[in-house]
Amino acid sequence: MNYPIYISSSSDDEEDEVQEPINSQQPVTTIVNDERRIYQAALQDLNQPKTEKDLPHGVLSVPLMRHQKIALEWMRQKERSYNNCLGGILADDQGLGKTISIIALILLQKLKSQSRRVKKRSRRSGGTLVVCPASVVKQWAKELDDKVSPQNKLTVLVYHGSRRINDPVELAKYDVVVTTYALVTNEVLQSQKRFSGALGRVRWSRVVLDEAQTIKNHKTQVARACSSLNAKRRWCLSGTPIQNEVMDLFSYFKFLRYHPYAELCSFSQRIMVPIRNNRVKGYKKLQAVLRAILLRRTKETLLDGQPILHLPPKTINLTKVDFSPEEFAFYKTLEATSQSEFEAYAAAGAVYSNYAYILVMLLRLRQACDHPWLVKTSSFERVNQSGFTSTKINAVMNTLESLGKQVKTLVFSQWTGMLDLVEHSFGKSGVTFRRLDGTMSLVARDNAVKEFNNDPSVQVMLMSLKAGNLGLNMVSASHVIILDLWWNPTTEDQAIDRAHRIGQTQAVTVTRIAINNTVEDRILALQETKRIVVASALGEDPGELSATRLTEQDLGFLFFGVKQEHI
């Protein structure tokens, strides 16, 4: 099969001088499928790149930091080089300024096109499309405006809302179009190149997926829609490119057209099988494959012996508390029922056929750790009494009292029901707060963030973990409370880094609250396993473990606290 190197018929970038293959007489199929080119690129990038590129003075309203200059040159080279895809993955840690690095890349291309006589692009050949979570659309628009000097402004369109433009010719006139994953999913069809909306009818010069882990499951509609966008250059931005398993990478490779790994069969044979056969060698190969298209720096990365970024310290504390007698009795009853049902499924060999229901049982146990009112069971009435406050909410109130009203705090929970209960306690105690969750409009979210950041009287921001953990800049806060644990530690890391990022001037402390002798003990253990997998794939740790869908042994561990072959 002949794979396309990129999909584009635009003519706006003829000056970019894409480098040709070493042997231009070699058939394209051979080049694309030959992994030697990948290894050549990996060898060239064996060490952290240090070559810098900067914009002319005055183009940006703020100067690029050194690691951002390095990122700009690296991205410029990736957009010019023939390494089986034009683009890549910028996987810098959260809070290191990936957004401004992309803005610099867009400006660099615009300045170059202005300085040279470039053939005018066709009517439907657009600029850069930025796809991001709804919660950061306004922030992208603000950054594109604030970070660019008045003399070099980009034309920017926020493509969102019922009154949005539905004409691809109009969209193509803008330097940057910012939209959401939901709109891309709705507007791009994956059948016979037919498109229902304007986004799919523009030939983009560049598509940037912000918080690209949104497409980590290649089977989802959002992943298929993003991969179907017509673009010459493709970028994934994510501080957590692997969240659950190595298989997450396949969706990025498919979007990037990173051949020969962009086909599922080839990815499995060339990536997954080597890892299964020999984890050490398999992970080393994966690191080489990633090195050719991925740039990752963490806050601990050193450049010439100096930290990449000087941030105030971050301290993470795990606070383990005990249930009240009423909560303990409620939880133990629920746990016994869940264990009994799981044992029955395991004995019948029906764990995976009842996988979804078993996860619901685990969900109820996790919710019971927050507050019994989140769980509707026959024993619910035991603790459904007026004025009851759960152990975790008491822990939140005690933490806030110890901090004082001058310390701004982010409080995260996975469940809006829990946010409701915390909000009720705040109301009774006179805590001034704002709230951000997925049910709110973009305008309401933006207003909540502005008021929290700018109003000294607002002490707390209540945030849902999924709506509030992506992209937001909340450096006015210096304390973070994680109310409930998530299987995937990177989700919590993203939430914490809303506060611990560029612009933070205060030391950041984090309080993670967990209940003793519950399912949360086992979640903590699973989180460490997933951390090892991510580190192994990215070459940040010598660990060899791999994380996949929860196995029967994992489920037994979560319910009983021990891993057994037969439960």
At residue 58 the predicted structure's pLDDT band, cuts being 50, 70 and 90, is very high
- pLDDT for res 557: 64
Decide: 65 and 270 in contact? Cβ < 8 Å: no
Compute the CA torsion angle 148, 153, 158, 163 (nearest 10 deg): 150
* Range of lowest pLDDT (120-124, 190-194, 292-296, 329-333): 190-194
Which residue, chain included where needed, has tokens 């002798």?
Answer: 517
* Range of lowest pLDDT (65-69, 123-127, 177-181, 427-431): 123-127
**HEC secondary structure over 398-433:** HHHHHHCCCCCEEEEECCHHHHHHHHHHHHHHCCCE
At residue 543 the predicted structure's pLDDT band, cuts being 50, 70 and 90, is very low
| Of residues 211, 253, 247, the one with CA closest to residue 94 | 211
- Does residue 37 carry a pLDDT above 90? no
Decide: 308 and 92 in contact? Cβ < 8 Å: no
Q: 250: which 2 tokens?
A: 């396949």
Distance CA 80, CA 176 (A): 20
Mean pLDDT of the 550-561 span: 57
Those residues with Cβ within 8 angstroms of residue 125's Cβ, 6 or more apart along the chain or in another chain: 9, 10, 11, 12, 172, 202, 203, 205
Tens of pLDDT, residue by residue over 234-258, are: 999 998 888 778 999 999 999 999 9
Mean pLDDT of the 123-141 span: 89
Quote the Cα angle for 72-77-81, to 5°.
Answer: 155
Mean pLDDT of the 539-549 span: 40
- pLDDT for res 498: 87
Could you tell me the CA-to-CA distances from 114 to 108, 126, 146, 513 in Å, in that order? 10, 16, 22, 54
Q: 254: which 2 tokens?
A: 């498919």
* Range of lowest pLDDT (296-300, 377-381, 429-433): 377-381
Q: Return the CA Rg of the chain.
A: 25
- pLDDT for res 379: 41
Tens of pLDDT, residue by residue over 23-33, are: 333 333 443 45
- pLDDT for res 254: 96
Mean pLDDT of the 407-411 span: 96
Tens of pLDDT, residue by residue over 434-453, are: 999 988 888 888 899 999 99
Tens of pLDDT, residue by residue over 155-188, are: 999 999 888 888 999 999 999 999 999 999 999 8
Those residues with Cβ within 8 angstroms of residue 149's Cβ, 6 or more apart along the chain or in another chain: 58, 59, 60, 61
Residue 4's CB is within 10 A of a number of other CB atoms, namely 10
Domains of the chain (ranges; CATH) run 38-303 (3.40.50.10810), 314-326+389-560 (3.40.50.300)
Could you tell me the CA-to-CA distances from 140 to 303, 407, 491, 537 in Å, in that order? 28, 27, 21, 30
* Range of lowest pLDDT (141-145, 206-210, 302-306, 392-396): 302-306
At residue 556 the predicted structure's pLDDT band, cuts being 50, 70 and 90, is low
| Of residues 255, 124, 265, 254, the one with CA closest to residue 199 | 124
* Range of lowest pLDDT (101-110, 143-152, 556-565): 556-565
Task: HSE, CB side, 13 Å, CA atoms: give it for residue 132.
Answer: 28
Residue 469's CB is within 10 A of a number of other CB atoms, namely 26
- pLDDT for res 189: 62
What phi and psi values does residue 187 have, to the nearest 5 degrees?
Answer: -100, -15
At residue 560 the predicted structure's pLDDT band, cuts being 50, 70 and 90, is low
Average pLDDT over the chain reads: 82
At residue 94 the predicted structure's pLDDT band, cuts being 50, 70 and 90, is confident
Decide: 465 and 412 in contact? Cβ < 8 Å: yes
- pLDDT for res 370: 95
DSSP one-letter code for 148: B
Decide: 124 and 172 in contact? Cβ < 8 Å: yes
Distance CA 24, CA 178 (A): 37
Residue, of 381 and 151, whose pLDDT is higher: 151
At residue 222 the predicted structure's pLDDT band, cuts being 50, 70 and 90, is very high
| Of residues 194, 558, 222, 566, the one with CA closest to residue 369 | 558
Mean pLDDT of the 108-133 span: 80
- Top mean pLDDT of 77-91, 316-330, 527-541 is at 316-330
Could you tell me the CA-to-CA distances from 167 to 164, 190, 232, 233 in Å, in that order? 9, 20, 20, 22
Return the sign of the alpha-carbon dihedral for residues 158, 212, 297, 102: negative
Tens of pLDDT, residue by residue over 516-535, are: 999 998 888 877 777 777 77
- pLDDT for res 7: 27
Compute the CA torsion angle 393, 399, 403, 408 (nearest 10 deg): -50
Mean pLDDT of the 110-138 span: 81
- Integer distance in angstroms from the first to the last C-alpha of the chain? 47
